[in-house]
A and B are shown apart, each in its own frame.
Chain A
């Protein structure tokens, strides 16, 4: 890989980290309410995966989706405005943190029923094939989703009908507060793909290059052979399930241990060791991102609330 590409991956991961930290800060300050699920610790998954697709490929994610929306190309100010419930938000303030949609960028949500969007991703894959196109669909969800019926129904249909969909389990170890081994019969979750005769790839989701490599392979397969893949990216969330969760169900020692795998820090260190970037480069990146995020907050702050007469808009098409 070229240095610029590596640098870009790092830039995006730092951007997500800082954006989410800011979102958490804004939530704590009372700038917005509702549920807010941060992606801190999982950045390598979205960044690595989305670096392998085209602008016209489709991405869907769960309610922990700020990252996927931003990396797919949405403007940070409009994402922050959506979190704030403002008119200039990507979903005009009607979706909020869990329902970011930016169709122009081919980011298709922001879905808050666990595994409820997997059939949608499957249907988008169906439409691509129906129309003879060559796009692919990337569908992200937590490991808690694999116990839902729609996970199994979707994988079965994608396999029977040969659809260009990549299903990605973001295994952050906890479905809310329930550890994966307490919830799922098969610890090696991606093996579930075998039941549907779908190839599966198990990866270290803390290593952005590892993620990228796995998705390159899956995307190629989806685009060229119209075939699905199940990828399990083993990651970890450093914050609670949502802003309301102090995460008492895990030990401090476990968290500290996992933080040694921090995808941003480890990749940064790696690039510095390889002399791809310098201390100064990192400082410059941090400074640039800080400014960008401050501007996003400013944009969100300035945006008006949605007008009251928009209450009944966007419901039916006349």
Chain B
């Protein structure tokens, strides 16, 4: 196993898939000559040229729609959002075109494309650059939503996303691009729609993805010192969600905490909670607890930003509450 960064893992996935299939191309703002706003596409322009690594003007609706149109004719575009905050400008293209063209044409069209880039808060980027939007996209029939937490998962899942014949929203994180992890040397893919039990435990199930997964791991380590053994599920794909893995875990632990960075109301955690209540209510010894971002536009001030986001302490508190431990 090699140890590489999350950024390098994404880069390798792009490179390998572009080598494997001529129809794959990368398009977005600053992906070429600048090597990506977060240096994810380093070296790709040099290897594949301007035909396949395409710098765009600042025109999110335009180039996202171009990606969809190219996918309609059988190309396999990877559209980079400099950040997913800007994907809001392309929301009409994604929701009304990418997600719906297959269905409303009675199955005549396929849209094999990936829209990828960093999502969520980084350090003090303020209200318009600090949004976790996975719930928005997961709400839309026709899209898949993938949101990995480790370099290994990112590489394997991005390769699967590029090979997938459906539009896939693939969310990364500014704060995780430098994160290092083991990645197999040999070719591999990870299936979309399968979760991963990243920590086995018996007392409580914590469901957490992307940056929140790492907070959950830190919380679990601390809880272990107090004799609480947490199981951590990283769903990796939000849509389609690996419900069975979650249900099986809850049947074992009887308690559940869900962590998400995004706003609480109608969030991914709301949906997972609801599924749990519908399917495995009888196995629960306590109500499901959600740890989420606060429902405010992200404030700039460091202390306020920290207060608005989930953290290790909030997760520990939630775990203890579902275990009825006095705090």
B26 shortest CB reach to chain A, Å: 13
Q: A314's contact among B97, B102, B144, by CB below 8 Å, is which?
A: B102
Say if the beta carbon of A24 comes within 8 Å of chain B. Answer: no
Does residue B61 face the partner (Cβ distance < 8 Å to A)? yes
Known contacts being A150-B65, A153-B61, A156-B57, is A109 close to B105, with CB within 8 Å? yes
Residue contact A99 to B62, C-beta cutoff 8 Å: no
A95 at the interface (CB under 8 A from B): yes
B20 beta carbon closer than 8 Å to chain A: no
B106 at the interface (CB under 8 A from A): yes
B110 within 8 A of A: yes
- A92–B65 CA distance with the chains assembled, in angstroms: 25
User: With A153-B59, A157-B56 as given contacts, are A101 and B106 in contact (CB-CB < 8 Å)?
Assistant: yes
Q: Which residue of A lies closest to B240 (CB)?
A: A316
Whether, in the assembled complex, B294 has its beta carbon less than 8 Å from a beta carbon of chain A, the answer is no
Number of A-B contacts defined by CB within 8 Å: 134
- CB neighbours (8 Å) of A314 from chain B are 102-103, 105-107
Chain A contacts of B144 at CB under 8 A?
316
A95 to B106, CA, bound (A): 7
Tell me, yes or no, whether A123 is within 8 Å of chain B by CB.
Answer: yes
How far in angstroms is the closest Cβ of chain B from A15?
24
Residues of B within 8 A of A94 (CB): 103-106
CB contact between A92 and one of B56, B106, B141 (< 8 Å): that residue: B106
Chain A residue nearest to B66 (CB atoms) is A123
Q: Which of B64, B75, B93, B166 contacts A130 (CB 8 A)?
A: B75
Q: How far is the CA of A108 from the CA of B68 in the complex (A)?
A: 12
Contact code string B83-106 (vs A, CB < 8 Å = 1, else 0): 000000000110011000111111
B interface residue count range (under 10 / 10 to 19 / 20 to 34 / 35 or more): 35 or more
Chain B residues near A117 (CB, 8 Å)?
Answer: 97
Interface size on A, residues (CB 8 A): 43
Asked if residues A126 and B106 are in contact (CB atoms below 8 Å), the reply is no
Q: How far does the Cβ of A107 sit from chain B's closest Cβ, in whole Å?
A: 10
Given A101-B109, A316-B166, A317-B166, verify A126-B57 contact (CB < 8 Å): no
Q: Which residue from A128, A313, A316 sits with its C-beta under 8 Å from B142?
A: A316
> In the complex, are the beta carbons of B63 and A157 less than 8 A apart?
yes
B38 vs chain A, min Cβ distance (A): 24
A126 to B73, CA, bound (A): 10
B67 at the interface (CB under 8 A from A): yes
Task: Indicate whether B17 reaches chain A with its CB closer than 8 angstroms.
Answer: no
Residue of B nearest to A154 (CB): B62
Question: Is there a chain B Cβ closer than 8 Å to A83's Cβ?
Answer: no
A90 within 8 A of B: yes
CB contacts under 8 Å to A, within B37-63, are 51, 56-57, 59, 61-63
Q: Is the CB of B57 within 8 A of A160?
A: yes
Interface residue B182 (Cβ < 8 Å from any Cβ of A): no
- Indicate the member of B62, B110, B142 with the most A CB atoms within 10 Å: B62
Q: Is the CB of A119 within 8 A of B62?
A: yes
Pair A119/B75 contact, Cβ less than 8 Å: no
A92-111, CB under 8 A of B: which get 1 and which 0? 11110001011100001111
Distance between B152 CB and nearest chain A CB, rounded to angstroms: 25
Asked if residues A101 and B105 are in contact (CB atoms below 8 Å), the reply is yes
Which A-B residue pairs are the 6 nearest by beta carbons?
A123-B69, A119-B65, A153-B62, A92-B106, A314-B107, A101-B105
Q: Give me the interface of A with B, judged by CB distance under 8 Å.
A: 89-95, 99, 101-103, 108-111, 113, 116-128, 130-131, 149-150, 153-154, 156-157, 160, 313-317
Q: Which B residues are closer than 8 A to A by beta carbons? A: 25, 51, 56-57, 59, 61-75, 92-93, 96-97, 101-110, 141-142, 144, 165-166
